[in-house]
Chain A
Amino acid sequence: MRKIAEALAAYIDYLVGLGPTCPDDQQLTPADRAQLEVLLSIADQLKRVLTPVAPRPDFESRLRESLLAAAVQRSTLSGRNGRAPGLVRRRWVLIGAAAGSLLSMAGIITAVILRQRSVARL
C-alpha cells in the first residue's frame, strides 16, 4: 500500500508541475500496478476538472478598496484615541493579571503568618 501511495503522490506532483518526471512503477507487483493505473486515471481526471477559478475583477478591486478603507479608518481611530494595538493591550492585561495574582498570594501568605502568630501567642 505504501509503495502505491508513494508512486501515486509522485505522479500527482508530476501532474501539477512539481515533480520532474513521471515516476517509475517497475518495483510494484502486477496487481499493485493495475490498482495504481486506475488511481492515476482518476488523478488525471481531477487535474482536468479542478482548474483554477478566478474571482470577478470588479469584486476583487471593490474588496481591495473596502479593506484598505477599513484598515486606514482603524489605524486613524486607534491613533486618535491613543489606544495601543491589540498585542500591546493584551500584554498589559496579562501583566495586570499577574500582578493581581501576586498580590492575592501575598495576602494569603500574610493572613496565614498572622494566624500562626496569634495561635502561638495563645
Chain B
Amino acid sequence: MSCDEYALVERAKTDPAAFGILYERYVNKIYNYVYYRVGNHYDAEDLTARTFYRAMNHIGRFTQRGVPFSAWLYRIAHNLMANWHRDRQRHQVVSLEDVAAHIQHGEEPQHIAEDQEEREQLLAAIRCLPAERQQLLILKFSEGLSNAEIGQIMGRSEGAIKSLYYRTLLSLREMLQQPNH
C-alpha cells in the first residue's frame, strides 16, 4: 500500500470525505468482482453497498500489517458473497443476457453472433468452478491485478497463484471438452 493510500485510510477513520475518495477509487472494482460472482445487477448492487457499509463501519479496525486496503475490501466482499451463497443454498446463474449486453456494446453484429456460444459455454464452465477459482479468474482477467495483489487478497504466495492458474485452466479445459458443455 502506498504512503498516500495509507494516509488516506488513516484519515478515512474519522473523515467521511476521505472515505468518499476511497469509495470512488474502489467502487467499480468491487462491483465488477461481485457482479461476476453473483451474476445479476440487482444482487451485485446490494452486495457492493453492503461491502462499503461494512468497510465504513469497521475501518477503525483496519491496520496495515502488509495487507493493502484493496485486499481488505475484497475480503469483505468475498465473505459477504459466501454468506449470500450459503443463504440461498444455490449458486446464482450468471445472466448471460446481462453480461452480453455489457460486453457486446460497440461490437459489430456478426461478431456478437459468432462469439455468443463461446461466451455461454465458458461462463457456464466458470460457474461450475469452486469459489476460490472463480475469484482468481475475475481478479486476473477482469480486474487485471498482479499475482502479488491476488496473493494478498487470497492469502497465498505468488507461486501458489501461478500453480492455481494452471490447475484452474486445466479444469476448464476438461469441462469444455465434456459434451454437456
Interface residues of A (CB under 8 A from B): 1-2, 4-6, 8-9, 12-13, 15-18, 38-39, 42-43, 45-56, 59-60, 63-64, 66-68, 70-72, 75, 85-87
Contacts and interface: CB of A to CB of B under 8 A. Distances in A.
Nearest to B121: A45
Interface string B5-26: 0000000011011011001100
A1 B45 CA distance: 40
A4 to B, nearest CB: 6
Contacts of A51: 102-103, 142
B166 A53 contact: no
Given A42-B169, A51-B142, A71 B56 contact: yes
Interface string B85-103: 0000000000000010011
Contact of A6 (B146, B162, B170): B162
A110 B137 CA distance: 63
B115 interface: yes
B141 A53 contact: no
Nearest to A69: B16
A85 B119 contact: no
**Residue of A52, A60, A67 with most partner-chain B CB within 10 A:** A52
Nearest to A11: B165
B27 to A, nearest CB: 6
